[in-house]
Structure 1
Amino acid sequence: MQQPPSPQALAGVRVLDLSRVLAGPWCTQTLADLGADVIKIERPGSGDDTRAWGPPYLQDGEGHDTSEAAYYLGANRNKRSLAVDLSRPEGQALVRRLAGQVDVLVENFKVGDLARYGLDAQSLRAEHPGLVICSITGFGQTGPYAERAGYDYAIQGMGGLMSVTGERDDLPGGGPQKVGVAVADLFTGMYATVAILAALRHRDATGQGQIVDMALFDTQLAMLANLGSNYLCSGKAPGRMGNAHQNIVPYQVFEASDGHLIVAVGNDRQFAKLCDIAGRPDWAADPRFATNAERVRHRTVLVPLLEDAIRQRSRAHWLAALEAAKVPCGPINSIAEALADPQAQARGAVVGMEHPLSPALRVVASPMKLSATPVQYRQAPPLLGQHSDEVLRQAGCTAEQIAAWREAGVIA
């Protein structure tokens, strides 16, 4: 007999998702993975912008492109889609009705835009004091930049990340670089998830909801982490270090005889083991290199010595020897290699889901491993308006009302 599915931590929590692109959908997908019922509100006809952000697109059973972009599929599983025209009074009334039936509303409209529809946080909270509303914008609800649109790329630049990402200016290829994925969006989505869960905890204790004001710019500043702290303690802004670490040496990419590898020495014991493997135990005893602080100060002396030594042998030799000695190291994999790695396979990093347009949809799994309330992959990223009738019937709307709204173009 098939066992019933395990309970989920957020079962019973309902979320109205008025967000699109990445930061908001990443937040709501995380909530959905944990068991929340997420209703994704989309514009009839086009839906979330990322549905068209391809190629690549999902392919059907015959290998032909469908209408669903891979970008969209990466951030919208476990949700239901309701296509509603918010420019119409009937559509606005529908969303206000739904807002009274959920626990959380997430939106990433520009500051002030939802007020035109009577869907701004203050209006909704006045009517539904237990509602948790999370607004995600580029710069937040206050400050001189509040009305600006915010995009991950620009935020990475404005928030200091690109000043510490990329090769040094004095080396070939030097200059600012963005990170390869939209980290400001993704971090904001994760911080928003944490804040929403905290607000729900408060709501459960007091009955009162609240407004969560999340900004990509604020998040980017926070995620500078140790580099922001470096500046505040020293008064000196860190610069770009390429693949090296600001505070630890050796902690960077090295070139072996047949390829590159990462060596990430985290303490003096590990450094001594590295020196033994390199056949140079004298380096660990050298006062210039004996402690991390001295290695950082004498980086320009030590690193060339290590480069010469590592270049003499193959990548496989170094990886095997370093792993055996428990010195942190690793290869530099492509995404294909990373997802095919035995560890990724063992951890279930890729999950298959049944999609209406393809039986072979695969998605990158959630990294959250909960022993009692595991993540479940209940539903593939929805087609535009796939659940409009279902959601509206559950909201108490009649078949006649739904048919009339569809005929008038209010829903799809």
Structure 2
Amino acid sequence: MVHRPMEGVRVLEVAQFTFVPAAGAVLADWGADVIKIEHAERGDGQRGLSRVLGLATASEGSSFLPIMEGPNRGKRSVGLALEKPSARGVFEELVRSSDVFLTNFLPGARAKLKIDVDDIRAINPDIVYVRGSGFGARGPEADKGGYDSTAFWARGGSAAGVTTPDADRTPRMPAGAYGDAIGGMTIAGGIAAALYSRQITGAPSIIDVSLLGVGAWATQYTVNQALMKGGPLPPREHPKHGSATNPLIGGYRTADGRWLEFAMLQPGRYWPEFCRLAGRPDLAADERFADVEKIMANAAEAARIVAELVAGRTFAEWTEILSRGEGQWAAVQNSWEVGQDPSLRANGLITKVVDAEGEERELVANPVQFEETPVTLTRAPLFAEHTDEVLRELGLSDEELIQLKIDGAAT
């Protein structure tokens, strides 16, 4: 069995929803023991979301909720009411035995619950302390909450980047928790670096990752261009088909209304191949497109021809035809097709997990693999499923467990 790089690391997570918990899920994938603290009565607020993006979050009669499974697989759930004095001793024992403390609670809540940096470091001075936020740990919005739709998507530049000048509304994120999942992966990488640094130097780190920062990083090319220019970039005028100088760039619609995305950045190299595959080798010899300079000069006319050719065959026909060539292209896939993608499956990036009812399900794996070995997933915990198990590991007796539950401090 392959050794997972985070085996032996304990992560204590006091966080909700997807941004930050997703980091815990990645660390669990990599072998860490991740203990998720959920409020003894309310649990993770995400458990209460019955509909998201117009869809039910669970199938009837099942405990399997993809909205919880994605950011929480592989963890153990402990129900603790941190505001209750009798829960403090248990919580402090968990802090003492952990390598990483992970939270997305706002500063006011952290102060009230005594889980801020100084509080946690007073218990365990060697712990890596990790804060996920909407807008950063400093500045005028340090106390402000945010979601990926606001901090990552809107403020970080992605929404503007996909909004056309004549649009009557901004496009929504392409998937639920889109920025949250990217942010969680980012945090997991930061934690790995901090643990390495601690091993080398002996000093623990404080890690800050904001959704706004992740959003700006994702759009950095255009942000950097604007910074160099000294002002907003001009609105881009996109041709209906192709680009201004390359007909083999961009989206083309098939006869049955599906889309293909071309990214053949060397038109001189790939134009003859495309013409041959499309059954129009004569176009490669056409005087208008006889060399790369002429293709670029007549890109609009070439793109119009490409659009007509693509529109003349179905999506299935084109995917088979284009697979014979070397030019770069991709099918524009919906979420079901992504889940069935042959390359994802060949690489173990769609993987099986058994739910609480014993039914085999599938989830997207995180994209990092070690030793060419697909990750083995276990399901997300049910609410407070591991309270007794984890607290007994700390040495609590049955009588002490019962008293905590009577006090409302544990579930």
Classify the TM-score, shorter chain: 0.7 to 0.9
CA distance in 1: counterparts of 2:391 and 2:78, whole angstroms: 8
C-alpha contact 1:92 1:119 (8 A) present in aligned 2:
no
Partner of 1:51: 47
Partner of 1:285: 291
Partner of 1:410: 409
Measure how far apart 1:288 and its partner are.
5.1
Partner of 2:183: 188
Pairing 1:316-355 to 2, within 5 Å after superposition: 316-355=316-355
CA distance in 2: counterparts of 1:243 and 1:215, whole angstroms: 36
Partner of 1:32: 28
CA distance in 2: counterparts of 1:284 and 1:82, whole angstroms: 69
C-alpha contact 1:16 1:99 (8 A) present in aligned 2:
yes
Match of 1:87 among 61, 83, 88: 83
Does 2:211 align with 1:216? yes
Does 2:15 align with 1:19? yes
TM-score normalised by length of structure 1: 0.86
Task: Give SS of 2:318's match.
Answer: helix
Measure how far apart 1:367 and its partner are.
2.8
CA distance in 1: counterparts of 2:380 and 2:189, whole angstroms: 23
- Residue correspondences, number: 394
Task: Give SS of 2:224's match.
Answer: helix
Of the structure 1 ranges 91-100 and 29-38, higher mean CA displacement relative to structure 2 is found in 91-100
Partner of 1:124: 120
Pairing 1:226-245 to 2, within 5 Å after superposition: 226-234=221-229, 235-237=231-233, 239=235
C-alpha contact 1:184 1:220 (8 A) present in aligned 2:
yes
Partner of 1:202: 197
Measure how far apart 1:197 and its partner are.
0.7
Q: Deviations over 1:268-317 (max 9, x none)?
A: 32344334545322426262534xxx7xxx76555334323322333344
The one-letter code of the counterpart of 1:321 is I
CA distance in 1: counterparts of 2:101 and 2:244, whole angstroms: 41
Change (3 A) 1:151 1:270: same
Partner of 2:146: 150
The one-letter code of the counterpart of 1:322 is L
Q: Deviations over 1:83-132 (max 9, x none)?
A: 00012122233222211110001100012321222210122224422110
Of the structure 1 ranges 274-283 and 252-261, higher mean CA displacement relative to structure 2 is found in 274-283
The one-letter code of the counterpart of 1:15 is V
Change (3 A) 1:247 1:17: farther
- Runs of 5+ in structure 2 lacking a partner? none
CA distance in 2: counterparts of 1:395 and 1:301, whole angstroms: 73
Change (3 A) 1:239 1:77: farther
Partner of 1:10: 6
Measure how far apart 1:190 and its partner are.
1.2
Match of 1:251 among 244, 249, 252: 249
Measure how far apart 1:57 and its partner are.
4.5
Measure how far apart 1:236 and its partner are.
4.5
The one-letter code of the counterpart of 2:310 is I
Partner of 1:69: 65
CA distance in 2: counterparts of 1:131 and 1:352, whole angstroms: 33
Percentage of matched positions with identical amino acids: 27
CA distance in 1: counterparts of 2:221 and 2:244, whole angstroms: 9
CA distance in 2: counterparts of 1:199 and 1:126, whole angstroms: 19
CA distance in 1: counterparts of 2:397 and 2:16, whole angstroms: 28
C-alpha contact 2:241 2:304 (8 A) present in aligned 1:
no
Of the structure 1 ranges 322-331 and 244-253, higher mean CA displacement relative to structure 2 is found in 244-253
CA distance in 1: counterparts of 2:84 and 2:239, whole angstroms: 51
Change (3 A) 1:349 1:286: closer
The alignment's C-alpha RMSD in Å is 2.7
CA distance in 2: counterparts of 1:91 and 1:312, whole angstroms: 68
